[in-house]
């Protein structure tokens, strides 16, 4: 059974129709990349999947692990194993990263009727993940994304992903704002996560092929004007990098 199945999805951002009949199937353990020109609907797809207010589905359906994703509230989607790495992570002053993640872990444990992690386990895991991502463990005491550089914010998103262990991670332009070294560290972090969680899947939204050097996709899709217009293996990304999107219009 596929992990995510999007069927003929139409959705608006505010009053504006953005997604126009988008269909997409992601199997367990797969990495899919979505590329496309500005305004094609990539981020809208991410927000619709995550349940962001202001984004309305007008028709179509989305099944996540066989369940109706669109019927779930945003926090229940997260508890069910969907994770969105934001393109522009918000700053939350006064709430430490440690407290934020502890609260998220507790909420997920409650939803799954499981034991929340102990304080010792939580700190141990977070320190290990932050080391792998080259982050100073002191950041755990700082406010969520407060005063972080663009690269630090993106690394923090990957840290959260690794800690919360989602079934499906949607990475919305995680490569934007990263320098070469940070891009490699983030790419290795995602790859490491996928190796440790072979049933988890990733939906990568990106403009550039360079991230795909570090996170090798099984399928690459091209999103244009609200729907998938082309799919292929990673050579499709190389073709887009070389030729842009104009050839798609030419048919």
Partner 1 sequence: MKTGALPQAWMAPAMGEDLRALVGLPASSASAREHWKYTRIEKITALLNGPDNAPPTVFEGASQPGVTVVQDTDPDDHELTLLSTRTAYCPATAKALLNTRCIDRMVIGQSLAQPLVILRSDARRPLLITVRTGVSARIHDLSSSDTGWLIVEQEPNSQLDFTRLHTPSAATRWHQLQLILNRHASLTMQHYCTGAAFSRLDVFVALVGTGSSVDARGCWMANSKDHLDQQWHVEHHAPHTSSSQVQHGIADGRAVTTYRGRIFIGVDCPAVDASLMNRNLTLSPTAVCNTKPELEINTDDVRCSHGATIGQLSEESIFYFLSRGVDREHARKMLAAGFINQCLRGDLADTARFELLGTSSE
Chain residues binding partner 1 by CB under 8 A are 50-53, 73-75, 78-79, 83-84, 86, 89-90, 92-96, 98-104, 107-108, 111, 141, 143-144, 160, 164
With H, G, I as helix, E, B as strand and everything else as coil, classify residue 249.
helix
Q: How far apart are CB 107 and partner 1 at their closest, in Å? A: 4
User: Cα separation of 34 and 206, whole Å?
Assistant: 6
Structure tokens at 28: 């367990």
CA angle in degrees (0–180, nearest 5) for 39-48-40: 15
Give the pairing of strands 168-172 and 82-85. Answer: parallel
User: Cα separation of 58 and 102, whole Å?
Assistant: 36
Closer by beta carbon to partner 1, 84 or else 212 = 84
Going by C-alpha positions, the residue among 204, 95, 75 that lies closest to residue 145 is 95
Q: How far apart are CB 166 and partner 1 at their closest, in Å? A: 10
Query: Are the beta carbons of 7 and 227 closer than 8 angstroms?
Result: no
Closer by beta carbon to partner 1, 78 or else 212 = 78
- Identify any residues that bridge with 143 across adjacent strands, giving them in sequence order: 96
Closer by beta carbon to partner 1, 81 or else 187 = 81
Q: How far apart are CB 34 and partner 1 at their closest, in Å? A: 19
Q: How far apart are CB 98 and partner 1 at their closest, in Å? A: 5
Q: How far apart are CB 79 and partner 1 at their closest, in Å? A: 4
Structure tokens at 128: 């290990």
Closer by beta carbon to partner 1, 169 or else 219 = 169
Query: Are the beta carbons of 97 and 47 closer than 8 angstroms?
Result: no
Closer by beta carbon to partner 1, 83 or else 148 = 83
């Amino acid at each position: 059974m596929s992990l995510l199945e999007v069927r003929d999805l139409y959705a608006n951002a505010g009053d504006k129709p953005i997604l126009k009949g988008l269909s997409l199937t992601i199997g367990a353990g797969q990495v899919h990349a979505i590329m496309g020109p500005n305004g094609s609907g990539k981020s809208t797809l991410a927000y619709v999947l995550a349940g962001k207010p202001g984004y309305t589905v007008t028709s179509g359906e989305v099944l996540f692990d066989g369940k109706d994703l669109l019927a779930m509230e945003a926090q229940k989607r997260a508890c069910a194993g969907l994770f969105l790495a934001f393109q522009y992570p918000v700053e939350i002053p006064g709430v430490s990263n440690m407290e934020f993640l502890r609260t998220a872990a507790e909420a997920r444990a409650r939803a799954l009727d499981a034991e929340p992690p102990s304080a010792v386990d939580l700190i141990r895991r977070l320190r290990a993940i932050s080391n792998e991502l080259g982050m100073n463990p002191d950041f755990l005491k700082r406010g969520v994304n407060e005063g972080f550089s663009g690269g630090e914010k993106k690394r923090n998103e990957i840290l959260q992903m690794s800690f919360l262990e989602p079934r499906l991670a949607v990475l919305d332009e995680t490569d934007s704002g990263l320098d070469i070294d940070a891009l490699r560290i983030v790419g290795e972090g995602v790859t490491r996560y996928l190796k440790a969680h072979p049933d988890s899947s990733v939906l990568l939204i990106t403009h550039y092929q360079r991230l795909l050097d570090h996170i090798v996709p099984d399928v690459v899709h091209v999103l244009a004007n609200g729907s998938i217009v082309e799919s292929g293996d990673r050579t499709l990304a190389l073709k887009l990098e070389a030729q842009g999107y104009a050839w798609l219009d030419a048919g």
